[in-house]
Amino acid sequence: MSSRSSCAGCARASTSSGGVFDEGRLRARLEELQTESSRPGLWEQRERAERVLREKSRVEREVVFFERLATLLEEVELLLELAAEADDPDTRDEAAEKLAAAGRDLEEAETRRLLGGEHDACNAIISINSGAGGTDACDWAEMLSRMYKRWADSHSLTIEELDSQVGDEAGIRSVTFTVSGDYAFGYLKAEEGVHRLVRISPFDSQSRRHTAFASVSVVPELDDSIDVEIDDKDLRIDTYRAGGAGGQHVNKTDSAVRITHLPTNVVVQCQNERSQHKNRAAALKVLRGRLYERARLEHEEKMAAARGEQRQIEFGSQIRSYTLHPQQRVKDHRTGLEAGDVEGVLAGNIDRFIRATLLQKAASRGDAS
């Protein structure tokens, strides 16, 4: 078999191996969505029409992704043949660069293939809360928020902050924001848990080493097609004046909204919008996501108990440690993966940790290839 057919065969195998990224299934789904999007009367149901168009755009991007990958591999094969014929090192170097780019795309495709959960394609709602560690914990929560926002930027995902509570001296006590784009929840669900920071505290006049904790919660942003029953009488809705950095942008009306779901004591709040109505709608969206995830986890625990499984209780224990002193190291305690470039990780380079966690979860379900 020639190098050209071998490489093309590899590309075809990667796009037809099942899971989320089955190219044949994607193209069939795209045809269905194109038919549906051109159906007369589609916009009589606005929410359904918007869902159809969002999915159509996502599937189109996935099809284009595979077309680009196949083209890139063909270019690599052609360059390799030309380099062999002309014994041209520059052409070989160009082929190597394109092959490296194709390798990164293939790795991304393999990672996305793990995203077959019911809501993995949804937007994500992230909440970060400072824990033990005082001012260092508030600073750490802000560092984590910046890390995820930089990760989102590098993946062309959109951030919208819903609520933020500043710390007394520095950092933030809590922040909630949405990450919008393809498979945002599928990727970011791997980040849920407690994160630990060890460093020389910049807030300690004696320059001692401190440990700080912050928790990360990730839930899907659900559309109205997902039924989550919320009874109005189970809600306590409080309004208050939105906080801010001061100056002319301070909100002078009680537009911020805090909603407490009384049966579960789940509390959500939003103050990003100037309108109380919009803040209430955004807070309810966060509440729906959290209640859905709560119900899902409770169901999984009951099923595990029925099967007699011994499930480890990990609430409150860190999933990852970021050590800045005495050595530079990031370690994920679930997968054992370590990295020495702490600054790079804090700048948003967390794909390796996300991939390792998704692979581990797939292996535990028995569906990793």
Q: Band the pLDDT of 356: cuts 50, 70, 90.
A: very high
**pLDDT per position as a tens digit, 126-179:** 999 999 899 999 999 999 999 999 999 999 999 999 988 898 899 999 999 999
Q: How far apart are alpha carbons 115 and 191 in whole angstroms? A: 14
**Whole-number pLDDT of residue 273:** 79
Phi then psi dihedrals of residue 273, to 5 deg? -85, 150
Name the average pLDDT for the chain: 81
For the four alpha carbons of 55, 58, 175 and 325, in that order, the dihedral sign comes to positive
**pLDDT per position as a tens digit, 3-45:** 333 343 334 333 333 344 567 888 888 888 888 888 888 888 8
Q: Are 345 and 146 in contact (CB under 8 A)?
A: no
Helices of type H across the chain: 3-14, 23-37, 46-86, 89-113, 135-154, 184-188, 276-306, 342-346, 351-365
**Whole-number pLDDT of residue 295:** 83
**Is it the case that residue 104 has pLDDT exceeding 60?**
yes
Q: Band the pLDDT of 299: cuts 50, 70, 90.
A: low
Average pLDDT over residues 201-222: 91
Identical fold for domains 3-113 and 118-369, yes or no, is no
**Whole-number pLDDT of residue 17:** 37
* % of the chain with per-residue pLDDT over 90: 37
Q: In terms of Cα–Cα distance, which of 129, 207, 134, 220 is closest to 181?
A: 220
Q: In terms of Cα–Cα distance, which of 114, 273, 261 is closest to 178?
A: 273
Domain ranges of the chain: 3-113, 118-369
CATH of domain 118-369: 3.30.70.1660
Q: Band the pLDDT of 303: cuts 50, 70, 90.
A: low
Q: Band the pLDDT of 309: cuts 50, 70, 90.
A: very low
Average pLDDT over residues 194-223: 91
**Whole-number pLDDT of residue 8:** 38
Position of tokens 């082929």?
A: 95
Q: Band the pLDDT of 252: cuts 50, 70, 90.
A: low
**Whole-number pLDDT of residue 10:** 39
Listing DSSP states for 162-210 in one string gives EEEEE-SSSSEEEEEEEEESTTHHHHHGGG-EEEEEEEE-TT-TT--EE
Half-sphere exposure of 323 (CA within 13 A, CB side): 14
Q: Band the pLDDT of 310: cuts 50, 70, 90.
A: very low
End-to-end CA distance of the chain: 25
CATH 3.30.360.10 fits 3-113, yes or no: no
Residue 214 DSSP SS3: strand
